[in-house]
Amino acid sequence: MDEYYMRQALALAERGLGRTRPNPMVGAVIVRDNTVVGQGWHKKAGTPHAEIHALTQAGDLARGATLYVTLEPCSHYGRTGPCADAVIQAGIKKVVVAMVDPNPLVAGKGLEKLRAAGIEVVEGILAGQAAGLNEVFIKWVTTGMPFGILKTAMTLDGKIATVSGQSQWITGPPARQFVHTLRDRYDGILVGIGTVLADDPALTARLPQATQNPVRIVADSLARTPLTAKVVNDEAATIVAVLPEAPPERREALQKKGVDVVVVPRGKTGIDLKSLFQILGKRGISSILIEGGPAVNQSALAANVVDKVYWFIAPKIIGGTSAPGPVGGEGISCLDAAILLKNTAIQQVGEDVLVSGYIV
């Protein structure tokens, strides 16, 4: 029964997908006499947590009941009060949690407070599913680094564009729609200056249900982003990352257009993406979708900032020795040095195939 109710709590938590950042997604279910008397989920950072919604709905029926929650109730003051205190005051008799909160501000303190108040606590119910749901939050809160997601699309013969540079569209409409759901889910979206100059993309989440856009991040060593570019001329936020030697007048022109210009140290082939991710993580950006070309993709992989991959394969053949592939650079000379994926999944998206997985 613990797993049964925890699955309900996990399903509730998932309703907050892309809306709670940088907070975790959390779901809560209150059960009394084998009947759900209250439930809730965290809807947005700064608003009441899942436990509070569930306790409010349960009212007096919470006294003596069991609370199922996907993440340890918090024990500290942030933008809201400690959920552990509210659980104790409501008279909950037993708390079942999927996983301990990895946030150092909590990290078991909430469960300690519950036990000290005489509440029975059970841990680890469907912990793996709970951790998968909050993979972004776990990476960011434990390392300070955003969770990196590399998305790319290629033909059957491994090309992302023709020899003339034409790349729209490699994949079909369903795959492009899927990408917009990713943009709606994650905090930021990273491209290189080459993509901006070639395609002038908007990099927004164009979905009927989308309520927010990712922060656009352009890796632009010398601040060449045109003042006429779409990423400069709409309401969505844009960060342009430049090297110290970027011309001051170009930086200032972008800033006057409302662009946030960030100076980043030089790496081996341009902007040091690891340093950029560290800067963005400190700003509360917990996840970054990488939609770059071969150079940015290679730099991201080399910098070890990629955690997850979404790789579309379209049933098309382009050909051409000089037609670009999804990852640039010099490549490897030995297969033992290849980057591997684990926990891979394959699904059909329209006529295209999507391979997803995690960097080993």
- Same domain? For 176 and 259 the reply is yes
What does the pLDDT look like over 154-168, one tens digit per residue?
999 999 999 988 888
- Same domain? For 149 and 288 the reply is yes
- Domain of residue 295, CATH code: 3.40.430.10
If we measure between CA atoms, which residue out of 198, 200, 207 comes closest to residue 173?
A: 207
- Same domain? For 126 and 189 the reply is no
- Same domain? For 83 and 212 the reply is no
Band (pLDDT 50/70/90 cuts) for residue 46 is confident
d(CA 255, CA 240): 9
Residue type at 11? A
Residue 167 annotated as binding? yes
d(CA 32, CA 67): 9
Residue 49 annotated as binding? yes
Last residue of a domain, one of 102, 119, 137: 137
What does the pLDDT look like over 151-204, one tens digit per residue?
999 999 999 999 988 888 899 999 999 999 999 999 999 999 999 998 899 999
- Domain of residue 87, CATH code: 3.40.140.10
Helices 294-302, 273-282: inter-axial angle, 10-degree rounding: 80
Edge-first strand listing for the sheet containing 238-242? 260-263, 238-242, 215-219, 188-192, 287-290, 147-155, 308-314, 352-359, 341-349
Residue 138 has pLDDT above 70, yes or no: yes
- Same domain? For 153 and 62 the reply is no
Residue 180 annotated as binding? no
- Same domain? For 201 and 287 the reply is yes
Last residue of a domain, one of 137, 155, 190: 137
Q: Is 245 a catalytic residue?
A: no
Q: Which domain holds residue 150?
A: 145-359
Residue 334 annotated as binding? no
- Same domain? For 317 and 233 the reply is yes
- Same domain? For 111 and 166 the reply is no
Beta strand 147-155 with 308-314 is: parallel
- Same domain? For 126 and 170 the reply is no
Average pLDDT, rounded, for the chain: 93
Q: Which residues pair with 190 in a beta bridge?
A: 217, 290
Residue 294 annotated as binding? yes
- Same domain? For 129 and 111 the reply is yes
What does the pLDDT look like over 248-270, one tens digit per residue?
999 999 999 999 999 999 988 89
Last residue of a domain, one of 89, 119, 137: 137
- Same domain? For 354 and 279 the reply is yes
pLDDT of residue 80: 65
How many C-beta atoms surround the C-beta of residue 358 within 10 A?
Answer: 14
Q: Quick check: 357 and 341 in contact, CB under 8 A?
A: yes
pLDDT of residue 252: 97
Residue 131 annotated as binding? no
d(CA 260, CA 352): 36
What number is the average pLDDT over the span 319-326?
A: 93
Catalytic residue among 3, 14, 51, 135: 51
- Same domain? For 133 and 155 the reply is no
Better-predicted residue by pLDDT, 169 or 209: 169
Number of domains composing the chain: 2
